[in-house]
């Protein structure tokens, strides 16, 4: 069993992200809690795919912090690092949608891997269109 604290995981949201989004869907593994600029720490860093994931589980990210976060994202983008921000609902309620989004961003950066279906995943659109197309047949 994975020791989350040793792995660098600091919050239940990060734990869920790694378990239900990243690993459950076969995404490349990120490195937690890395500093990419002065006085910042990013929740999950994917250097190979030039992508940062920030998990905003707290209301503290609103207001002043939101502006600060935007400035941080802009500085990281200037370094060629794109930031994806997910909240509790994205991770806990929509892990499959979130994984697809992350996978698409990685593919744009050259990732050749394939997403795995987790037990909660609905079949991919090419196998079973949903919602069903009323124009079809």
| Interacting residue ranges for Zn ion, rule: CB under 5 A | 96, 118, 120-121
* Residue closer to Zn ion, measured from CB, 84 or 118: 118
**Side-chain half-sphere CA neighbours of 56 within 13 A:** 14
92: three-class secondary structure by DSSP: helix
Which C-beta is closer to Zn ion: that of 92 or that of 118? 118
* 19 token code pair: 């378990």
Shortest Cβ distance from residue 72 to Zn ion (Å)?
29
Using the minimum distance from each CB to Zn ion, give the nearer residue, 9 or 27.
27
CA dihedral (113, 88, 42, 70) positive or negative: positive
Minimum CB separation from Zn ion for residue 56, in Å?
A: 21
Supply the minimum distance, in Å, between the C-beta of residue 55 and Zn ion.
18
Q: What's the rounded Cα separation, in Å, for the pair 134 and 137? A: 8
């Amino acid at each position: 069993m994975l020791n989350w604290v040793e792995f660098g995981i600091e919050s239940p949201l990060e734990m869920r992200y790694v378990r239900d989004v990243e690993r459950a869907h076969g995404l490349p593994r990120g490195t937690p809690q890395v500093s990419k600029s002065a006085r910042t720490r990013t929740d999950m860093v994917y250097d190979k795919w030039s992508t940062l994931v920030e998990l905003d589980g707290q209301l503290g990210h609103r207001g002043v912090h939101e502006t600060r976060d935007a400035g941080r994202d802009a500085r990281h983008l200037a370094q060629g690092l794109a930031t994806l921000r997910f909240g509790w609902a994205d991770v806990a309620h929509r892990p499959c949608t979130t994984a697809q989004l992350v996978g698409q961003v990685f593919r744009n950066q050259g990732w050749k891997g394939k997403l795995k279906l987790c037990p909660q995943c609905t079949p991919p659109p090419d196998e079973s269109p949903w919602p069903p197309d009323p124009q079809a047949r």
